[in-house]
Homo-oligomer: A and B are copies of this chain.
């Protein structure tokens, strides 16, 4: 590194981790190049709301250039990084080479189908705006088809929705979908008997939202069952051919709609990175968030694998990503100023998941809540954390409207 010039920091990914790293360097004497394959940051915790027509894609996305309008030391480049060379210290983007002095890899993850090629082919997922909109289109199409299907069994199959994975995304999607059916679709399809519809939530393990405390796992199960979600624990998927879900115990469910929320793995560009990897291809990093052997290269967010003080892997959630982004920015400043780096300590701000109208589970300051109060906290925090004042107003308006009128924003089927 030429110590006379301004150091160049390349940040790959404008998710929670990358965004926070970029902000942490706002006042530093560095040049930042922020790279993302999309031109917008996505508020991923609400992506499932797009799938159930509760929010619009634009309400949980914010153009990256708008976010950084006032940060003069940052340049945004849209594109997909095709290679990272940590030896020569450059990344390849849109056919060009971008050299860096410091690198922050915050590329997130992609859906892990664990080798289920048939699920990848016929199933739906919630990874970005496109997959969420595709899922919304599929859900709405099934109601349209059911509305002109005379055969009862066929109609029931069309109106069966299987969600795989009992983590927060699976639980929130199942709860919200059950409510969409009972509150909104009932009015849109007065001639359909919506008792024929069912939402099935499959979980391979013996409880939902595994990393939550026991009392919240139980509360979640009860809240979902009260909303008529058919929760099947200890249910392993065996195959899905677009018509039938087969479980390991031999049971079959006839459906055209399987939403897979059961795993995340590393993106392609990390597969070629010569580094030690954990399950799912996540990069094992030092407690300082550095790539071992490459002090100028940091890996953070879902792409990184790190154990906490109790030797448990840090979960792939937004609060970890945000804190790591801030910590990586500080450590880069320490490197520049030739100070000792500090290890990352995750401060758990609490857990929160919603199971539909008036129902959520939360653990905050060590106290577990469920029901209405947890739900109110969930609504407040999610609106507060959405980026952009305009989006906050729009989401608040939306949810208030839905709450009062039992309506959902836009049940639009768009072409794919």
Contacts and interface: CB of A to CB of B under 8 A. Distances in A.
Given A144-B78, A397-B393, A130 B414 contact: yes
Contacts of A188: 63, 65-66, 69
A78 B187 CA distance: 17
A412 B148 CA distance: 36
A312 interface: no
Chain A facing B: main interface SS: mixed
A68 to B, nearest CB: 10
A56 interface: yes
A14 to B, nearest CB: 13
Given A140-B39, A148-B94, A63 B191 contact: no
A401 interface: yes
A415 interface: yes
Interface in A210-261: none
A281 interface: no
Interface string A133-156: 100000010001001100000000
A129 interface: yes
Interface in A114-137: 129-130, 133
A397 B394 CA distance: 9
Nearest to A129: B414
A410 B61 contact: yes
20 contacts: A38-B413, A39-B140, A39-B413, A40-B412, A56-B56, A57-B412, A58-B409, A58-B410, A63-B410, A63-B412, A65-B411, A66-B411, A69-B190, A78-B413, A94-B148, A130-B414, A133-B414, A393-B397, A394-B394, A394-B397
Contacts of A94: 148
B61 A58 contact: no
A189 B65 contact: yes
Nearest to A98: B148
Given A66-B188, A188-B63, A188-B66, A414 B144 contact: no
A130 B415 CA distance: 7
A77 interface: yes
A274 interface: no
A193 interface: no
A75 interface: yes
Interface in A47-66: 56-58, 61, 63, 65-66
